[in-house]
């Protein structure tokens, strides 16, 4: 178990972890007594977090929690009834726990992360403080990270891919900083979140800090594990510093946005975008140069921008030359930004940090159960739904090709059957012994390309014999059955002992002071007493400010 906390601070002046029992202002563990029969708000909150109904609601929007839900959950779990007024007070505290900016939300962070590490073996956490010149005072919170051990154990059986994304916190909900997310994909193209961090900015220093701690805690990577990012300079520099020898690929949609900014255009024309996509998907450099020549005649400035981007990060042909995986078996086009656009991502960007980490663990737990249940009744020897869709598309394309035998029972030429000029037929060389094709789409043990499928059909051979187990339901069941035997546990954030050595960031303290001053002025005027103003814009109304989402793969 890796538990990096304040015992090993990044900043040398950060204090070491202390026992809460030594804090004169904090509660003493010896003073704790058994809960009496009087219902408390904490007990009501605990029933919400333990209830499946409560988890369903908080996974979408905690403000949608109804009083009758709270009363029903408490009755089902404890056989107790509460008044509507008490349910209303419990709901207010529940919503404030998620959304209200406060110092206590940062003081509860380390106790909660310790709880997460204790209940999820193999996990680790980091909390950094900003050096404080005042001796004996609380240290200002800097940044934090949680790595999920059970998710790391799934990484070797998932796709060799790590998607890096960043999302800005919702300033309309009085939140500051950015979330950094590392995730992978299973072979059914579903995300698996590996680590979540909160940092003040998305510069190369914070990205390098995030990646270095993943490396230090032995995140299992193979030599083919590819990092998928938005191509921003900050992430590229951090990856070059921490993982210089790992494949690094840019998301195609983010690449299009990047070249627009570099060339000073508002957006690319449909023809320009089509040619850039053709260049990105080129399986050899000849095809790349054909598209490049056409684009040069349209927009020379755009071509100069593209030439400044290393080809191995976005051109399939250059990736093949380096021996990097093409990831044609996973849909990479929309990976970057998936987290920000998801219900979970938009909710986390509006939440306090403790609920953020709780919701990530809850999402992982519920996803593992639902994905296993979705395929539990399927036969072991059928393809996963996403892979079957890919195979069906390639089967329909394979009917276009004619086969010419080159070396008996081993190598074949495949070309488009409708080519009019026999001297200019676009041949692809298919090797059914090594399971390869010169198109680059068929790598060993992956789904065959359209040319390979055409050869298999001509030879009347079973295509299943060359497909790896990882694409079948049996392997998928094993992947998620491990998560059932050693499940991801989202511990309840109720009844935590605050860590008084920590204070909120200066920006949050300023927000709290402004809110208190506004409430004091309202109270002094005698108007609007007991009538708080409207809550800030909900997370569903997050502004479209640019963010540093990082992960999407080229299709």
Q: What is the pLDDT of residues 276-330, one digit of tens each?
A: 999 998 888 888 999 999 999 999 999 999 998 999 999 998 998 888 888 888 8
Give the torsion through C-alpha atoms of 110, 114, 117, 118, to 10 deg: -170
pLDDT confidence bin for 515, thresholds 50/70/90: confident
Instruction: Name residues whose C-beta falls within 8 Å of residue 247's C-beta, 6 or more positions apart in sequence.
Output: 224, 225, 226, 227, 312, 319, 322, 324, 325
d(CA 390, CA 490): 35
CA angle 387–443–393, rounded 5-degree value = 35
Structure tokens at 510: 């300023």
Q: What is the pLDDT of residues 5-46, one digit of tens each?
A: 433 444 433 444 444 444 444 444 444 333 334 578 889 999
Q: Taking residues 488-500, what's their average pLDDT? A: 92
Instruction: Provide the pLDDT for residue 473.
Output: 92
Position 491 pLDDT exceeds 70: yes
Of the candidates 345, 399, 358, 384, the one whose C-alpha atom is nearest the C-alpha of residue 108 is 358
Identify whether the C-beta of residue 263 lies closer than 8 Å to the C-beta of residue 305: yes
Reduced to 3 states (helix: H, G, I; strand: E, B; else coil), residue 533 is coil
Across the chain, what does the average pLDDT equal?
83
Instruction: Provide the pLDDT for residue 210.
Output: 97
Of the candidates 446, 441, 383, the one whose C-alpha atom is nearest the C-alpha of residue 414 is 441
Identify whether the C-beta of residue 455 lies closer than 8 Å to the C-beta of residue 412: yes
Position 231 pLDDT exceeds 70: yes
Instruction: Provide the pLDDT for residue 125.
Output: 97
Phi, psi of 508 (to 5 degrees): -70, -40
Phi, psi of 164 (to 5 degrees): -110, 125
Instruction: Give helix 270-280 / helix 300-307 axis angle, nearest 10°.
Output: 30
Indicate the pTM of the whole model. 0.82
Instruction: Provide the pLDDT for residue 170.
Output: 92
For 237-264, what is the HEC assignment?
HHHHHHCCCCCEEECHHHHHHHHHHHHC
Helix (H), strand (E) at residue 211: helix 204-216
Structure tokens at 37: 């029969």
d(CA 141, CA 391): 50
> Do the bridges between strand 502-503 and strand 436-437 make them parallel or antiparallel, or are there none, so unpaired?
unpaired
Q: Taking residues 112-133, what's their average pLDDT? A: 91
d(CA 297, CA 132): 59
Please report, rounded to a whole number, the percentage of residues in the chain having pLDDT higher than 90.
46
Position 460 pLDDT exceeds 90: no
Instruction: Provide the pLDDT for residue 421.
Output: 45
Q: Taking residues 443-456, what's their average pLDDT? A: 81
Position 375 pLDDT exceeds 60: yes
What residue spans define the domains of the chain? 1-31+103-247+325-382+475-521+545-555, 35-99, 395-471
């Amino acid at each position: 178990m890796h538990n990096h906390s304040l015992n090993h601070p990044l900043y040398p002046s950060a204090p070491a972890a202390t026992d809460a029992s030594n804090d004169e202002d904090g509660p003493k563990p010896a003073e704790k007594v058994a809960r009496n029969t009087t219902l408390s708000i904490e007990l009501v909150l605990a029933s919400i977090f333990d209830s499946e109904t409560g988890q369903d609601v908080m996974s979408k929007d905690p403000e949608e929690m109804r009083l009758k839900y709270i009363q029903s959950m408490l009755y089902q779990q404890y056989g107790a009834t509460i008044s509507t007024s008490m349910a209303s007070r419990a709901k207010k505290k529940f919503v404030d726990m998620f959304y209200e900016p406060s110092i206590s939300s940062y003081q509860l962070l380390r106790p909660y992360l310790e709880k997460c590490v204790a209940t999820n073996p193999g996990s680790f956490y980091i909390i950094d403080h900003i050096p404080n010149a005042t001796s004996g005072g609380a240290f200002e919170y800097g940044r934090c990270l949680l790595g999920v051990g059970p998710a790391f154990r799934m990484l070797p059986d998932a796709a060799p891919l790590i998607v890096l994304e960043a999302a800005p916190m919702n300033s309309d909900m009085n939140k500051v900083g950015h979330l950094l997310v590392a995730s992978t994909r299973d072979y059914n193209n579903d995300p698996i979140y590996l680590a979540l961090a909160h940092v003040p900015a998305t510069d190369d220093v914070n990205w390098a800090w995030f990646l270095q701690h993943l490396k230090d805690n032995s995140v299992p990577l193979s030599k083919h594990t590819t990092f998928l990012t938005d191509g921003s300079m900050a992430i590229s520099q951090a990856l070059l510093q921490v993982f210089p020898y790992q494949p690094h690929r840019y998301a195609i949609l983010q690449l299009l946005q990047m070249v627009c900014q570099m060339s000073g255009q508002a957006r690319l024309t449909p023809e320009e975008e089509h040619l850039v996509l053709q260049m990105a998907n080129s399986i050899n450099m000849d095809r790349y140069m054909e598209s490049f020549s056409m684009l040069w005649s349209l927009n020379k400035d755009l071509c100069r921008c593209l030439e400044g981007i290393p080809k191995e990060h976005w051109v399939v042909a250059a990736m093949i030359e380096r021996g990097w995986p093409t990831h044609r078996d996973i849909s990479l086009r929309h990976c970057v930004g998936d987290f920000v656009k998801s219900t979970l991502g938009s909710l986390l960007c509006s939440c306090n940090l403790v609920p953020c980490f709780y919701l990530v663990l809850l999402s992982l737990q519920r996803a593992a159960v639902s994905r296993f249940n979705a395929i539990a009744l399927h036969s072991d020897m059928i393809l996963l739904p996403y892979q079957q869709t890919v195979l069906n598309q390639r089967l329909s394309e394979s009917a276009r090709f004619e086969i010419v035998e080159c070396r008996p029972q081993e190598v074949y030429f495949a070309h488009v059957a409708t080519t009019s000029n026999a001297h200019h037929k676009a041949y692809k060389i298919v090797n059914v012994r090594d399971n390869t094709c010169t198109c680059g789409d068929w790598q060993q043990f992956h789904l065959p390309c359209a040319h390979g499928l055409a050869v298999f059909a001509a030879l009347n051979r079973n295509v299943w014999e060359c497909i790896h187990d990882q694409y079948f339901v049996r392997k998928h069941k094993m992947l998620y059955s491990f998560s059932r035997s050693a499940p991801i546990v989202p511990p309840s954030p109720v009844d935590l002992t605050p860590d008084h050595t920590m204070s909120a960031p200066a920006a949050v303290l300023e927000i709290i002071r402004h809110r208190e001053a506004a409430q004091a002025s309202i109270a002094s005027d005698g108007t609007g007493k007991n009538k708080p103003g409207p809550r800030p814009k909900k997370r569903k109304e997050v502004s479209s400010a640019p963010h540093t989402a990082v992960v999407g793969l080229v299709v």
